[in-house]
Structure 1
């Protein structure tokens, strides 16, 4: 008997839960309706209304006269979707009245006063240009890390009208500044944490750095001194080349090409001063365990520290390769 009763209860339990859910959803309106007589309830719908969210609620378009409990319940009745931010929507009068009367628990005979036409406008906001620019500056300060820059052009492709709420701007990972200073930013616009739009921001950036220029015409092979150059600030994106910006970069360097007065000093135009010059008489060193042999040779090319060059052994006339160790010294490597 007990086993049969247990199975019977298990069979009925889903239906009991369903009935309880229906009771919970309907009970507030039904209870409220019992508290308020239909003559005590009155709804006055306004002709023009401003709503905030994506849904229209009765409390946003009507003044409700009812008991506090019923008024709170009636205010939350959903009437449909709102128009887009800043746009206006007209509500159908008969459909609105029918929708209200059909809600569970609304007293029969409730007085609903409506105008001939009902308009609903969605509240909106515009994001000012300076708000976008502040976010762009934050992005650029991270890109250039302390370098001085100027934002010379800025274009924001945005609709300009968004829902009311807290605004948050998020820069996408594919945002960048290219080698010509062209700025491209992809930015998400979030209102109360919900993404409403993704926009593209474009512009032009200038970054100023000190570079060195020639004081006078300079010749190929000439060693550069501080007196041969002067410094000036230029937008590096206008140069599009590997310019030199400090005196340390020209120290102990010679020119690989001719330069005219006021030309930029490029790192590609510089080279180290060779320790050994082509045609120079040098010492050729050969080491074998404890044996050291030193002879004379003639360099067949310029040589730089720790660089392999060709030399001619004066005694044998043979061409060998050796490593430049120091001024006028080349060591044969076996």
Structure 2
């Protein structure tokens, strides 16, 4: 800054304050708070385990959600540091604070470290109360899955994102670990259906994101993300079709599984299948029509998908709570 050597003290500090203010804004932007919506997967267990009337379960789940928000923001900062050069070649990502120089690598790195420690601290505190030598993983499953989430995402940021197919599998597994951590937080045994349904759904979403990048960027796609050299409109459409089919099929099988019917007391969960099919197909069509690669951006800007999600959630709650009542139990046998 070209400050005059004999400026008054009151005015000399203003540029510094503006710079600090801009850096704080840039840091907040880099945390990608809108993407915290992805961490809602930790609430899956409290929903399907029907523990929504237990205050302690809510405290544990919300605390886990907060910890994953801190951990995921730390990962975003690390990823942006690693991607700063390739981001500068992207028409939109070049405006990210680290790529554009609004946020220094030093500040971003220190902030990432603080967020990792804060998130890990919450997990450690919660895990201390869950410790039980006779339980699986000695009751430390929450710490295990949170740690696995951090490890695979660091591996992704530092190199595995450049490995075709492995990149989208890691993204999907990140959601699986969120859901499993949510189950461990309330001491619920993780259902294999939770793992399979979450994985196939999020694999579909990850592939749709890659397809969006290829369509919107064309030849630039491989320059901004090296792994995109492998994906083409043809092969990624095939993978999308397979992953969408798997996601719908696994959800249907979950709804019809003997274990599910026995636990709920009826097979009425099948009435939610059309809602899931509509939601997935609409999301697929939106990514084609809008050419948006970011699933969060698609979700936040489409009110219909929000309505679909709310309707599905309400149906799930109603069926889990009253699906075994004599009035509706005999509808589907």
* TM-score exceeds 0.5: no
Flag the structure with higher strand content.
Answer: 1
Q: In terms of Rg, which structure is larger?
A: 1
**Alignment TM-score, normalising by the size of structure 2:** 0.18
**Alignment TM-score, normalising by the size of structure 1:** 0.18
Flag the structure with higher helix content.
Answer: 2
Q: Which has the higher contact order (CA 8 A, sep 6+)?
A: 2
